Amino acid sequence: MEFMVRSAPNVLYELISTPSGFSEWYCDDVNVKGARYTFIWDGEEETAQLIGQKRGELVRFQWEDDEDPNAFFELRIRIDAMTNDVALILTDHAWPHELETARALWDSQIHNLLRVIGA
């Protein structure tokens, strides 16, 4: 999924890579111990490992309880070389019967992110 974002890339990166950033748009709170991120929504916890990161460009996580060991979700910032437009590229793995729900959830989450940015 691709979302155009009117934001400075460094501001966007902070929102998609830090506990304080995530808690502004993605979840209620985040606890981090090393590469282990515990995301909290309405008192419920889900834990993911940070399995990839490129400063200023991307973060990649793998849910600890995911049935597919190759599944991950990634948030990547892309800057158009000609226009300098900023896009957030979201990659997430979902089972075919969960695709529609996953898309709707991410649309809602990214809408929250854009609201926080003021875009």
What end-to-end distance do the CA atoms of the chain give, in Å? Answer: 18
What's the token pair of residue 48?
């993911």
- Topology of domain 2-117 in CATH is Alpha-D-Glucose-1,6-Bisphosphate; Chain A, domain 4 (3.30.530)
For the chain, give every domain's residue range: 2-117
More reliable by pLDDT, 69 or 51: 51
Per residue in 69-89, pLDDT (tens digit) is 888 999 999 999 999 999 999
In percent, the amount of the chain with pLDDT more than 90 equals 82
Per residue in 22-48, pLDDT (tens digit) is 999 999 999 999 999 999 999 999 999
What's the token pair of residue 46?
């889900």
Q: What is the overall mean pLDDT for the chain?
A: 94
pLDDT of 119 over the 80 cut: no
